[in-house]
Amino acid sequence: MSNILSFLLVSPLVIAGLISFIPAKNTLLIKNIALISSSVIFVISLFLWVEFDESTSLFQFTETLFQSNIAQGSVFDGLNFVLGIDGISIFFVILSAFLTPICLLVGWQSVQNYVKEYCIAFLVLESFMIGVFEVLDLLLFYIFFESVLVPMFVIIGVWGSRERKIRAAYQFFLYTLFGSLLMLLSILLIYFQVGTFDLEVLYTTQWSESRELLLWLAFFASFAVKVPMIPVHIWLPEAHVEAPTAGSVILAGILLKLGTYGFIRFSIPMFPFACMYFTPLVMTLSVLAVVYVSLTTIRQVDLKKIIAYSSVAHMNFVTIGLFSQNIQGIEGSVLLMLSHGLVAPGLFLAIGVLYDRHKTRILRYYSGCGRVMPIYAFIFVFFTMANISLPGTSSFPGEFLIMIGIYQNNTFVTFLAATTMVLGGAYALWLCNRLIYGTFKPHFISTFSDINRREFFTFLPFIISIVWIGVYPEPFLNVMHCSCVNLLYQGY
């Protein structure tokens, strides 16, 4: 049990390595091995939660891989492979482990070519994602943060749907790279000052005022691209629309969380002064994004773009909560991140179901599909309701806590942020209305093709957990409480 984190980090890579030795024509064997092993990894990751000590904000399950310094004798001899999780990162580790078997299951039939590579790409991606949330070392965080690009680039480029996918993959890659290279520079600057990348040491370090502002901005450049904040959010709809369904699931489920997780883990505790200083900037950008992106969503005709834009709106709502400087806001943000990691993938899965059958994502094509796909209609409406944070679904406690948090801090921002309730409702219901109801078009949708059993079982865990968090969020809030309080005291 003591090295569960390194197990989670390494085992997907090992399995990917094993799979690479299986001949590519045994697709069923490959798929089965990948699915079963990643499900086992998910179950093992749940032990983290079972064994987690809720009464402390310390990093738990800590371990050091490669006991001797891996970069010994170099200028980077402060580089340590230290792993550990606290109440915030635990859920993202579990979520990463949870989404990977789902992704494999999504591609069960729709992915016909390069099946072996598909499985390998997702397993490698899983390992990198878990790595991002587990490492307690700044440079290693950066390495994993960036490494995610490579499998994601491949996933969008190879199994994406249209010709435009290459452009999308490019945009995704270059936007993210540009932001994060600035972060690399500031990481080097930090190392130059402190002499270590160890996070626990960095938390106790004091920076000079101007340097702190500079470092914060450099980190912000990277995280804002990932969140995505408003001037640099263009990559997201492109990447989402062109990605395969499983790619969208990972993008929305985990990769969007990397930016906000970066704020939580690095910006707020390491640069508290700069965080206070730049709060107006973050608030302005986030509120702009919430309003503007919600309005943009209403006029989209591409199903995936609608969900992608709504993800942007939700993630910016999360940043509002993070910078609200009180415990409700922060806890609400973490909970909303978690909930969004379930709701948005669910919606993307739902769109994937349609796309698999009719190979188009134009909204008008599907009008009235509720008539031939009743179960699907139910599931879609359920996820839409979760998306606009209906009480009883998982988004509600998160958004509600954020509202409480931001209201204590800034009424005006609260007012603007609360428009998400209306605007979110507008686009989501409008989408639902046009998709499920409306004139049935028998020329287009002629065959009865409701969801099959496999698809139903991929939806089921999402539905269960969404309702669970919505009705009884205590287990989640309890686990994250100490860490969030600690973050608050470190930060503000």
Partner 1 sequence: MYLNQPIYNQVSFSSFLFENDYLALIPEIFLISAGIFLLVYGCIFSTSSTYNFPILSTNIGWFVILTFIYTILLIYNAEINNAILLYNTLVIDDFTQFIKICCLLASAVTILISLDYLKAKSLNAFESMILILLATVGMLFLISSADFISLYLTIELQSLAFYVLAALKRNSEFSTEAGIKYFLLGAFSSGLLLFGCSLIYGFTGTISFSECAKLFAGTAGLSESISTSTFSIPACQLGIIFLLTGFLFKIAAAPFHMWSPDVYEGAPTPVTTFFTVTPKLAFFAAFLRLFLEGFYDLIDTWQTVIIISSSISMILGAFAALTQNKIKRFLAFSSISHAGYLLVGFACASIEGVQSLLLYLIVYIVMNIAVFAIILSGTRHTKNHTLSQIKYITDLAYLAKTNPLIAITFTITMFSMAGIPPFAGFYSKAFLFFSALSSNLGLLAILGILTSVLTCFYYIRLIRIMYFSIPKTWCNSVRIPRGNAYILALSFYFLTFFIFYPAPLYLVVHKAALALCI
* Footprint on this chain of partner 1 (rule: CB under 8 A): 66, 68-76, 128, 139, 142-147, 149-150, 153, 157-158, 166, 170, 173-174, 177-178, 181-182, 184-185, 188-189, 191-192
Nearest approach, Cβ of residue 347 and partner 1 (Å): 28
Instruction: Considering the complex, state which of residue 28 and residue 174 has its C-beta at the smaller distance from partner 1.
Output: 174
Query: What is the full DSSP assignment across 412-451?
Result: HHHHHHTHHHHHHHHHHHHHHHHHHSS---TTT--S----
Which CB, 175 or 459, lies closer to partner 1? 175
Closer to partner 1 by Cβ: residue 73 or 443: 73
Nearest approach, Cβ of residue 31 and partner 1 (Å): 19
Query: Would you say 113 or 447 has its CB closer to partner 1?
Result: 113
Beta bridge partner(s), residue 60? 85
- Alpha carbon of 443 to those of 177, 215, 366, 368: distances in Å? 45, 58, 11, 12
Query: CB 67 → partner 1: shortest distance, Å?
Result: 12
Q: Which of 33, 16, 266 is nearest to 137 (CA)?
A: 266
Residue placing its CB nearer to partner 1 in the complex, 262 or 346: 262
344 contacts 253 by C-beta, under 8 angstroms: yes
Shortest Cβ distance from residue 485 to partner 1 (Å)?
33
Nearest 10 degrees: Cα torsion 244, 249, 251, 257: 180
- The nearest distance, CB 72 to partner 1, in angstroms, is 5
- Which is closer to partner 1, CB of 83 or CB of 94? 83
CB of 124 to partner 1, least distance (A): 9
Contacts of 453 (CB under 8 A, 6+ apart): none
DSSP β-bridge partners for residue 64: 82
Compute the radius of gyration of the chain from its Cα atoms: 22
**Nearer CB in complex with partner 1: 36/174:** 174
Query: Taking the complex as a whole, how short is the minimal distance between the CB of residue 162 and partner 1, in angstroms?
Result: 12
Task: Using the Cα atoms of residue 377, residue 382, residue 386 and residue 388 in order, give the sign of their dihedral.
Answer: positive
Residue 373 tokens, joined:
């796909």
Measured between alpha carbons, how far is 176 from 298 in angstroms, rounded to an integer?
27
